[in-house]
Amino acid sequence: MGKFLIRPAMIVLPLAIGLFFPGAGQLATAPYHVIRITLFFMIFLAATGIEFRDLKPQQDHIKLLAVNILLGVIPFMVCKYLLHTSLETALTVFFIGITPSAAASSVIISLLNGKVGFGLTGFIFTNAGISLALLGLLPYTTGNFTANFCVDAALTIILLIVLPMSAAQLVRKLYPEIVRWVPRMKMISLSLWSLSLFILAARARQSFNDNPGGSGMQIIFCGLISLVFCAVNFYLGGKIASGNFKSECSQLLGQKNTVFSICLALAYVDNPITPLALTFYIVWHNIYNAGQLWIFDRKRRLPPPPGN
């Protein structure tokens, strides 16, 4: 059981420690951009273990992508046009809903004896598809349709998703032996993730220090809305899938590439709510994953029923 406690600890502890060092939140913005740098290398490390020509999108991948986009667009439109909430609330639900699958979702799928190839294809397919969709959706949701904004958003997405994936494939071509290092690089990726969480927690604390009046309600809202989205994502993923891929689709839709969306939110959303809600989502989906792994491990350790 000890190995299953390492991952949750490397998530919870950085979040808790970061709250005591609000000054570290400056590392998320210019001139440091540490969050962007860590995301680049996390995507790069994940993509080094993938041979793109072996990936075969299936019908379930198309359904996942469509639902993933709708989970961002529909709540945004409901909040903005029906409920007439603030723009920051509408943007928060948009970013939580549209966040694509996490690279680590395939790791959980493998630990649960799922189909890893399906998971890797889903990670690439949803991240590529949602990145393309965001080229049009970011100007629409933020209300900024200027040419400079659109070009800057496109360059940001290329830097965060396209460039590290392309660099990983180039390295595979030039140095095929790197494939042997992929299992060892998981801890490096997790360490980079921990660093990102520490900085995000510090930034959230600094935002609360700067705006003490609404801090309590902001925390409650961010925690609850991200929890609802997390539950809905895991549930819908399993419901829309065919019989062979229910657990895999649940994981792909529920476990999110939140650091990617946090980078976009930090760049294009001028409020502390959206990054904080995405940070809460990290906690919820990893609590769920830890529970899944504990139940799976417990079932494997149970003695077989009498007569078998």
pLDDT tens per residue across span 53-99: 767 888 999 999 999 999 999 999 999 999 999 899 999 999 999 99
Residue 78 lies in a domain: yes
Residue 250 lies in a domain: yes
pLDDT in tens, 256-295: 988 889 888 888 887 778 888 998 898 898 888 878 877 8
CATH number at residue 177: 1.20.1530.20
Nearest to 168 by CA among 298, 280, 18, 41: 41
Residue 50 lies in a domain: yes
Range with lowest mean pLDDT among 40-44, 52-56, 82-86, 132-136: 52-56
CB-hemisphere CA count at 13 Å for 95? 32
pLDDT in tens, 136-170: 999 999 988 888 888 888 888 888 888 988 898 89
Residue 306 lies in a domain: no
Residue 305 lies in a domain: no
Residue 18 lies in a domain: yes
Give residue 141's domain range. Answer: 2-300
Residue 153 lies in a domain: yes
Nearest to 161 by CA among 42, 281, 282: 42
Domains of the chain: total: 1
Residue 216 lies in a domain: yes
Rounded CA-CA distance 15/198 in Å is 5
State if pTM tops 0.85.
no
